[in-house]
Each structure stands twice: as structure tokens, then as C-alpha cells.
Amino acid sequence: MGLEQDRVSGLVDDVTDQAAEPSEDEREAWARVRRTATGMHHHQAKEALEDARRTARDGTLTGRDARVARAEAEEWERITETLSVHAGAYDSADDPFVQGELEGRAHHGPALPDPR
């Protein structure tokens, strides 16, 4: 995906060209999908992805509900792609993306108060 496509999708801020920080709703949606996906094999995740896509495309969802549905569909898609090259069941402990995300958060945790 190019920079312009990323701007349109909201992945990149169109003013600063910085990656947009996911909202708390998006993070919660991803976590929910990961919990649900735990133990699933590729064919099961693919079925869940199709359901999530139908929900995300449902024209009745607006605002927060629509954003959450899109985040869930995107996470199902990522997990399905991960499982397409992995013979076993999904486990977030074995997911390189999730582990990188956790490591990144650990390095960018809340700043400690100034002891002065």
C-alpha cells in the first residue's frame, strides 16, 4: 500500500505523514479477535474473517461501531494470513506481530515522573 492509500485508509496522518496511533477501541477489538482465534486453524479463521467482513460491510453500522467492525475484520485478515503459512493453531504467543507489538509497548511505556 502506498503513502496516499495509507492516508485515505487512516493508517497515516495526512498532515504529518506519521503512522496513526490505534485507538483504544481498535486495540480492544484486536485483543478480542486474538482471544477468539486462539486454538483456531486456518480454515476456521477464514470463516471468521468472512463473517467479520460481512459485518464490516454492513451499511447499518456507523461511527464507533463501524470502526470497531473494520478493526476486527483487519485483525482476522492478518491472523488468517499468518495461519496460511503456519501448520498449527493460532496462539498469540507465537504471533511475531503480537510479540513485536508487546515489545514496542514495553519500550515506549509511560514516562517516569521527574524525581526533582
Chain segment 15-34, per-residue pLDDT in tens: 556 677 889 999 999 999 99
19 pairs with which residues across the strands? 12
Residues 6+ positions from 95 with CB-CB distance below 8 Å: 34, 79, 82
pLDDT digits (tens, 9 = 90+) for 35-75: 999 999 999 999 999 999 999 998 899 999 999 999 999 99
What is the rounded average pLDDT for all residues in the chain?
A: 82
Exposed, middle or buried: residue 83 (CB in 10 Å: 0-12, 13-18, 19+)?
buried
CB 82 within 8 A of CB 97: yes
Q: Tell me, what's the pLDDT at 115?
A: 42
Nearest-angstrom CA–CA distance, 16 and 68: 24
Angle between helices 63-84 and 42-57 (to 10 degrees): 160
pLDDT given for residue 73 in this prediction? 98
Q: CA-to-CA distance for 111 and 33, rounded, in angstroms? A: 29
How far from the centroid of its chain's Cα atoms is residue 65's Cα?
15
| pLDDT attached to residue 108 | 67
C-alpha cell belonging to residue 21: 496511533
Instruction: Write down the pLDDT at residue 4.
Output: 47
pTM score: 0.73
Please check the confidence at residue 90 and state whether its pLDDT lies above 90.
yes
Q: How confident is the model at residue 76 (pLDDT cuts 50, 70, 90)?
A: very high
